[in-house]
C-alpha cells in the first residue's frame, strides 16, 4: 500500500519518541501489504477497528496513540487523516476528520 502523509508519521514520532518504533513497524507492514478489503487489514492488524467501508482506526503503542486512516483499496492507497494521543482523539470525529 502507498501511504499518503508519511511525513506526518515522522513528524508525530519526533514529537512523541516512544511512538517511533511502533509507527515504523506499522508503516513497514502497511507498505508491504496487498490489502483488497477491510478483512485483509484485520488479518494484519486484528485490534484495528473499521468505522466505515473506507475508514479504520489503528491503535498505536498498545492504544497510547490512535491513527485514523482512509483506505482506497483499488488504488492501493492509505491516507493518514489523523494521528494523535488519546486525549486528542477524544476531541475529533473519526468519521469526518481530515487533518492532513
CATH number reported for the structural domain that contains residue 57 in this entry: 3.30.2310
Cell numbers 486484528: residue: 46
Number of domains comprising the chain:
1
- Which whole number is the average pLDDT over 46-63? 95
User: Sheet harboring 55-60: ordered strands across?
Assistant: 2-4, 77-85, 65-72, 55-60, 49-50
The reply to whether 32 falls in a domain is yes
- 48 within 8 A of 56, measured Cβ to Cβ: yes
In a domain, 36, yes or no: yes
Residue-wise pLDDT for 59-83, tens only, equals 999 889 999 999 999 999 999 999 9
pTM check: above 0.85? yes
For residue 54, the enclosing domain spans: 2-89
With respect to residue 99, please indicate whether it lies within any of the assigned structural domains.
no
Amino acid at each position: 500500500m502507498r501511504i499518503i502523509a508519511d511525513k506526518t508519521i515522522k513528524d508525530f514520532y519526533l514529537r512523541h519518541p516512544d511512538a517511533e518504533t511502533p509507527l515504523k513497524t506499522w508503516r513497514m507492514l502497511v507498505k508491504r501489504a496487498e490489502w483488497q478489503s477491510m478483512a485483509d487489514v484485520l488479518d494484519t492488524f486484528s485490534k484495528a477497528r473499521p468505522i466505515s467501508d473506507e475508514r479504520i482506526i489503528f491503535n498505536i503503542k498498545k492504544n497510547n496513540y490512535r491513527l485514523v486512516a482512509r483506505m482506497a483499496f483499488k488504488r492501493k492507497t492509505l491516507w493518514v487523516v489523523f494521528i494523535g494521543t488519546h486525549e486528542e482523539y477524544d476531541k475529533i470525529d473519526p468519521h469526518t476528520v481530515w487533518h492532513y
